[in-house]
Amino acid sequence: MAYRIEIALKRGVHDGRGAGVAHRARNFFHLPVTGCATRDVFKVDVALAPKQLREVQQLFTDPVIARSALGRLAAPAFDWLVETGFKPGVTDNLGRTAQEVVTDAVGRPLTAQEGVYTGVQYLLKGALTREQAQRLGRDLLANELIQSIRVFSAEEWAAAPVDAEPPVIRDPAAVQVRAYDLGGSDADLMQISREGILSLSIEELHAIRDYFRRPAVLAARTQLGLPAQPTDVELECIAQTWSEHCKHKIFAANVHYVDDKGRAQTIDSLFKTFIRAATEKIRKDVDWLVSVFTDNAGIIRFSDRYNISFKCETHNSPSALDPYGGAITGIVGVNRDPMGTGMGCELVCNTWGYCFGSPFYAGDLPAGLMHPRRIRDGVHQGVIDGGNQSGIPWTRGFERFDERYLGKPLVYCGTIGKIPRALQGRPSERKEIFPGDAIVMCGGRIGKDGIHGATFSSEELRHESPAQAVQIGDPITQRKMYEFLMEARDLGLFRALTDNGAGGLSSSLGEMSSMSGGAEIDLALAPLKYEGLQPWEILLSEAQERMSLAVQPENVAALLALARRRDVEADVIGTFTDSGAFVVKFGDRCVGRLEMEFLHEGCPKMHIDARWQPPQVAAPAPLRAGPRDRALLGLLGALNVCSKEFKSRQYDGEVKGLSVVKPFVGVQSDMPSDATVMKVEYDSHAGIILAEGINPFFSDLDTYAMMASVIDEAVRRVISVGGKLGSIAGLDNFCWPDPVLSEKTPDGPYKMAQLVRANQALYDVCTAYLVPPISGKDSMKNDSVRGGRKISIPPTVLFSTIAKMDDVRKAVTMPFKQAGDPIYVIGLTADELGASEFHRWLAAEQGTPTSYGGTVPGLDLIHALATYRTLHSAIEAGLLHSSHTPTLGGLAVAFALAALGGDLGAEINLDAAPHLGTLRDDALLFAESNSRFVVTCAPEQAAALEEKFQGLPCARVGTVTAARTLTIRTAERQLVASDLDALRKAFKKTLNGI
């Protein structure tokens, strides 16, 4: 028997949630909602005595501000009532906590059939039609993919029975294992792949068919009672292991590349040829690489005591379907990468970054796509909740906006971890597994979460069934598991661990079993959230908050006992072996056997054509010479430049109390810092510097220049706060539109050539700067074909940097510090306005928004290296008061932000700025040339600074002033004379409150 409890705020207590709904309904949906009251609904499906029920109701109700009723609360006058709840099988975090409160109240554990389910009621006032109320339910209050939405008029509500029905489906389907006949034609094979959402190519299907025909394989299968043809467990496991997501087939492919001069080249794996080769080359020159490309995250040495690990992931497709769930899963998911690296890292901080369509987008939206504002709000809230509730501070965050992200948003989430260099006297990065070690799965239970989730279309996802549930991260369950794992690690209770992410057990155990040479598991031993899962679903489920451990037999009892004390689910589900095969059982029955060598090495290589042809992009018409105040204000307020502080303040950046240079700096703490600095240990002044570079706009002109510029930006940001070449490591995250030629992608060879060129640049720049890539990820299918319109993202690379800083107290920040300080520009400005923020602003002004061509910034590695070394030594010597590296918007925006940071004015003469050739004013002001800095020092240090930079392009361009005005001029004319308040307003108003 289930009970319904409704909870509302007392009269006189402000209902912020309701007010927010009314505000959004009016302002974003333009609907006449005059008021909205909200209530929480709990459906308590637990056997309770009347006294216990009253106690539960009391426990759920805040006696100071809330009131509640069993069944229904009397409703105030309303026009429409919308009630939302979760669909069966969807993670209900609030319900889970309520369950724990009930558990204490009844003094016994709840049975598997018992549970608490939650919903929210919105009582809307206003002259709305039913359709409008339904639209609010669908587009504002809930996501139909994962939630139920019911709409009632006042009369309907009065007439409706009290609904205490819990959203559960109880259909313990019989266990079924199907075998697939791969003996048919190619068309038959492709149909199996399509219908099963396996994404296997015909070459791959042939390889699978041939494997199962091997006599030795057949003999082994017969002995285990398996059919000759592959079972669903086996085929799903192979498809998962061989997926682009897990296998990175495009980066591993043979590429036939032809450049614009017709020169051909064959590349055996972009990853091996450029990325890993760069790291291998740099390895000879740096001594702090501990483990790269082999584990869940790259590991570098930090100090005598600690190593550091860093991983960044994307979670794009899930975030397009359910922005909140996709994003929270993204952040808590990437947390498990360092957590599962080496013997398990402690989590230090998070990074995030998103690419969206404009939140102000007012054009047509293809059917099935969410408005970018809704996606953005959901993604932020997901990562905010995931990070904050996990107690991990954020350090870096960015947003980029372009219409081509309407089809698929990019959601980057990164995590840095630390680990003692040795544990139990052994190097902590070493993972070992021996035959006989137990396989333990810990964390959450398994449901149908995320099975093929990302590949389903939304139509298919709308069925009333748990099978299609999207994952929703549960930070608290994960936090409990994390603390348990750290405790177990320090007690030496396990030998290896890894994360269950994409592909679930099939991928984590597939990976781990290659360390011992095989594994045998019994899926019937895996704990389930609810009945009715088929064996293949248990193996593939992407239910979150789970890790797999290899445990020495003698430690199993102690590990399980500790898990019980910490209220963490942990179960032995099998044994590692050296049989050479991954054997899957369900109880006594064998349901799958795959040889390790075939599973990991059997996937045929792809062959991809790439043909480079420089694109033709028109440039905007040059602007007549004159003042540029309006242009500067326009750029400061442009979506890609403007302040992102409103959303950023909702992320916890200071838990752990180790932050030193925060994401926002300056006297009003409102200017973005070039890079952030934090301590790693409480009793040491050493720390880490974090920064990043990203610029999808340069990709429209040349991905080689894009990649070079992005790495340069990520590196020079580190240098700007005090970092040092030779101590910087990098992470590459490639997000690409599908670059493989097909009917849907006729321009595949061009997109593949773009990928080749980006990789060439990565090798060239990383090896020159001694910045080894230590980890990375690629996401290669960022296209949307909904509503008959194909939208592909621009090639986008996030390059993240992490560097060790010996003494964080020497860090330098970007704001001007005191009036009278001389201002210097270091580095050459060139006529490089192609795809710059200025050209994009100008092109939009001229009504031809895509005509932002021109010369894309180049990179002079020799000059850059000398500049970075000299700047570092100037900071070490304590010469600088401020240092800021120009990025979007060039020098003009850089001067403005540094002035705003100090709340001080500046007088600048741009003629003095080092530059190449004769430049127009706009190039001097706005070119986004690489490797430049704007620095200040005390007047008495000017001579020392100038001497340090002798022989390098460095010149004094002006002075910091007490007058709160920024003036920029040349000998010819005044270009900018702007009051600081106007500049600040322009920078901050665009996304304030949005």
Contacting residue, 244, 818, 845, 948, with other proteins by CB under 8 A: 818
3-state SS record for 126-162: CCCCHHHHHHHHHHHHCCCCCEEEEEEEHHHHHHCCC
Q: What is the dihedral sign for C-alpha 89, 91, 94, 97?
A: positive
Looking at the Cβ atoms of 589 and 649, the one nearer to other proteins is: 649
CA dist 86 and 445 (Å) reads 18
Which is it for strands 607-611 and 254-258: parallel, antiparallel or unpaired? parallel
CA dist 256 and 738 (Å) reads 16
When asked if residue 395 is in the footprint of other proteins (CB under 8 A), the reply is no
When asked if residue 106 is in the footprint of other proteins (CB under 8 A), the reply is no
Name the 3-class secondary structure at 99. helix
CA dist 113 and 252 (Å) reads 47
Whole-Å CA distances, 184 to 189, 226, 231, 835 = 7, 20, 16, 52
Which region, judged by CB under 8 A, interacts with other proteins, from 171-179, 503-511, 807-815, 945-953? Answer: 807-815
Within residues 682-711, the interface with other proteins by CB under 8 A covers: 682
Question: Are 674 and 691 within 8 A, CB to CB?
Answer: yes
CA dist 270 and 565 (Å) reads 48
DSSP codes of every residue in 868-918: HHHHHHHHHTT-EEEEE---TTHHHHHHHHHHHHHT-EEEEEGGGS-BSSS
When asked if residue 662 is in the footprint of other proteins (CB under 8 A), the reply is yes
- In the complex, minimum distance from the CB of residue 22 to other proteins, in angstroms, rounded to a whole number: 12
- In the complex, minimum distance from the CB of residue 60 to other proteins, in angstroms, rounded to a whole number: 7
CA dist 914 and 935 (Å) reads 14
When asked if residue 110 is in the footprint of other proteins (CB under 8 A), the reply is no
* Radius of gyration for the chain, computed over Cα atoms and rounded to the nearest angstrom: 29
Contacting residue, 809, 848, 944, 973, with other proteins by CB under 8 A: 809
Closest CA to 967 of 910, 912, 926, 907: 907
- In the complex, minimum distance from the CB of residue 105 to other proteins, in angstroms, rounded to a whole number: 8
When asked if residue 660 is in the footprint of other proteins (CB under 8 A), the reply is yes
Which region, judged by CB under 8 A, interacts with other proteins, from 402-410, 417-425, 653-661, 707-715? Answer: 653-661
Looking at the Cβ atoms of 59 and 557, the one nearer to other proteins is: 59
Looking at the Cβ atoms of 388 and 784, the one nearer to other proteins is: 388
Contacting residue, 276, 408, 717, 881, with other proteins by CB under 8 A: 881
When asked if residue 566 is in the footprint of other proteins (CB under 8 A), the reply is yes
Which region, judged by CB under 8 A, interacts with other proteins, from 73-81, 422-430, 470-478, 630-638? Answer: 470-478
Contacting residue, 457, 669, 848, 992, with other proteins by CB under 8 A: 669
Which region, judged by CB under 8 A, interacts with other proteins, from 405-413, 494-502, 654-662, 789-797? Answer: 654-662
Within residues 21-60, the interface with other proteins by CB under 8 A covers: 59-60
When asked if residue 206 is in the footprint of other proteins (CB under 8 A), the reply is no
Interface characters, 365-394, with other proteins (x: CB under 8 A): -------------------x---xxxx---
Looking at residue 225, its amino acid is G
3-state SS record for 554-605: HHHHHHHHHHHHCCCEEEEEEEECCCCEEEEEECCEEEEEEEHHHHHHCCCC
Contacting residue, 464, 567, 911, 981, with other proteins by CB under 8 A: 567
When asked if residue 840 is in the footprint of other proteins (CB under 8 A), the reply is no
Q: List the 676-679 sheet strands across, edge first.
A: 659-661, 676-679, 687-693, 796-805, 728-735, 773-779
3-state SS record for 384-430: HHHHHHHCCCEEEEEEEECHHHCCCCEEEEEEEEEEECEECCEECCC
When asked if residue 100 is in the footprint of other proteins (CB under 8 A), the reply is yes
Looking at the Cβ atoms of 777 and 872, the one nearer to other proteins is: 872
Q: End-to-end CA distance of the chain, in Å? A: 44
Whole-Å CA distances, 588 to 397, 525, 585, 637 = 51, 11, 7, 66
- In the complex, minimum distance from the CB of residue 682 to other proteins, in angstroms, rounded to a whole number: 5
Residue 266 neighbours by CB distance under 10 Å: 9
- In the complex, minimum distance from the CB of residue 424 to other proteins, in angstroms, rounded to a whole number: 21
Which region, judged by CB under 8 A, interacts with other proteins, from 98-106, 239-247, 506-514, 594-602? Answer: 98-106
**Site for other proteins (CB under 8 A): how many residues?**
66
Contacting residue, 281, 649, 786, 948, with other proteins by CB under 8 A: 649
When asked if residue 475 is in the footprint of other proteins (CB under 8 A), the reply is yes
Which region, judged by CB under 8 A, interacts with other proteins, from 101-109, 601-609, 622-630, 729-737? Answer: 101-109
CB crowding 586-625: b at 16 or more within 10 Å, else e = beeebbbbbbbebbbebbeebebebbbeeeebebbeeeee
Which region, judged by CB under 8 A, interacts with other proteins, from 751-759, 810-818, 955-963, 973-981? Answer: 810-818
Closest CA to 331 of 524, 473, 196: 473
Which region, judged by CB under 8 A, interacts with other proteins, from 13-21, 424-432, 729-737, 939-947? Answer: 13-21
Looking at the Cβ atoms of 454 and 803, the one nearer to other proteins is: 803
- In the complex, minimum distance from the CB of residue 63 to other proteins, in angstroms, rounded to a whole number: 5
When asked if residue 165 is in the footprint of other proteins (CB under 8 A), the reply is no
Closest CA to 400 of 615, 721, 693, 733: 693
When asked if residue 333 is in the footprint of other proteins (CB under 8 A), the reply is no
Residues at the site binding other proteins, with contacts judged by CB under 8 A = 10, 12-14, 16-17, 19-20, 59-60, 62-65, 93-94, 96-98, 100-101, 104-105, 384, 388-391, 474-476, 479-480, 483, 565-567, 649-662, 664-665, 667, 669, 679, 682, 808-809, 811-813, 815, 817-818, 881
